[in-house]
């Protein structure tokens, strides 16, 4: 049986199935990227709920896995060379899992890099900007008298949705007919922006021609539906 005792995180979240990929996460837009990918790829894994509202990602055990103190993170007991591999940063994890499974990333080198650039687009732009809209529109930031920060982030999020809408012109998915980790990386963020964050109107979501249908197609996938609920909230 695989021994994960060398990883301090195993003390905080003991593995019941140490031969499976260990997922340490919470169902946030960043967290569900990895659970959706794992469900889509059919890779055996064991999810562990990291309750971020209780600062469980800031324990010494978790910080030994991810010094940045953020979810998601994984340990693959069967990493490169058959040795355990620990990874953090959701974009890196998506790329690793796609390579490991041979799924949801094109084999053609040019298309592979094109897919990766859209994953980086999500990491560098979609996630940070949509998250700021969430803070200033739904959470503590909504009480700020100065509404310029909200307007700034709402305008930028609206622009980014326009970039995605243009990309989807004539395409079912970001890479055309091929459903990839680029799509997986964005579902949770777009869903949260118009749903949980309640920003549908301020980013003019319903004026978009293609993104709403793309999101509906994605959310209709059974693996996406499962992944959005993993790990279970306490």
Q: Which DSSP string corresponds to 186-224?
A: HHHHHHHHHTTT--TTTTTGGG-SSHHHHHHHHHTSHHH
Q: How far is CA 220 from CA 26, 120, 215, 228, in A?
A: 21, 24, 9, 11
Long-range contacts of 202-205 (CB under 8 A, 24+ apart): 202/133, 202/137, 202/150, 202/154, 202/158, 203/133, 203/154, 203/157, 203/158, 203/161, 204/158, 205/161
- What pLDDT was estimated at residue 3? 85
Domain boundaries, the chain: 9-103, 109-225
- What pLDDT was estimated at residue 179? 98
CATH architecture classification, 109-225: Up-down Bundle (1.20)
In angstroms, the CA 2 to CA 79 distance is: 12
In angstroms, the CA 228 to CA 5 distance is: 29
- What pLDDT was estimated at residue 1? 60
What is the sign of the dihedral through the CA atoms of 83, 87, 92 and 96?
A: positive
CA 151 to chain CA centroid, nearest Å:
25
- Across the 234 residues of the chain, what is the mean pLDDT of every consecutive 10-residue run? 89 97 98 98 98 97 98 98 97 98 98 98 98 96 94 98 98 98 98 98 98 98 98 94
In angstroms, the CA 35 to CA 223 distance is: 9
CATH topology of domain 9-103: Glutaredoxin (3.40.30)
pTM of full prediction above 0.85: yes
């Amino acid at each position: 049986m695989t021994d994960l005792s060398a990883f301090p995180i195993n003390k905080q979240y003991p593995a019941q199935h140490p031969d499976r990929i260990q997922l340490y996460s919470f169902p946030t837009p960043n967290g569900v990227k990895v659970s959706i990918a794992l469900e889509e790829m059919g890779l055996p894994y064991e999810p562990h709920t990291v309750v971020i509202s209780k600062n469980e990602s800031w324990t010494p055990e978790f910080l030994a896995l991810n010094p940045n103190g953020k979810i998601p993170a994984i340990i693959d007991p069967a990493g490169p060379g058959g040795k355990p591999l620990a990874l953090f940063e959701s974009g890196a994890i998506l790329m690793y899992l796609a390579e490991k499974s041979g799924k949801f990333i094109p084999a053609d080198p040019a298309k592979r890099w094109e897919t990766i650039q859209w994953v980086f687009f999500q990491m560098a732009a979609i996630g940070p900007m949509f998250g700021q809209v969430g803070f200033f529109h739904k959470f503590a930031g909504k009480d700020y008298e100065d509404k310029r920060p909200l307007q700034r982030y709402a305008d930028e999020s609206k622009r980014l949705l326009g970039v995605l809408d243009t990309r989807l012109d004539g395409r079912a998915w970001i890479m055309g007919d091929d459903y990839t980790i680029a799509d997986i990386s964005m579902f949770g963020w777009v869903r949260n922006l118009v749903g949980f964050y309640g920003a549908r109107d301020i980013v003019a979501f319903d004026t978009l021609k293609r993104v709403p249908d793309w999101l509906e197609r994605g959310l209709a996938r059974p693996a996406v539906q499962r992944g959005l609920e993993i790990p279970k909230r306490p």
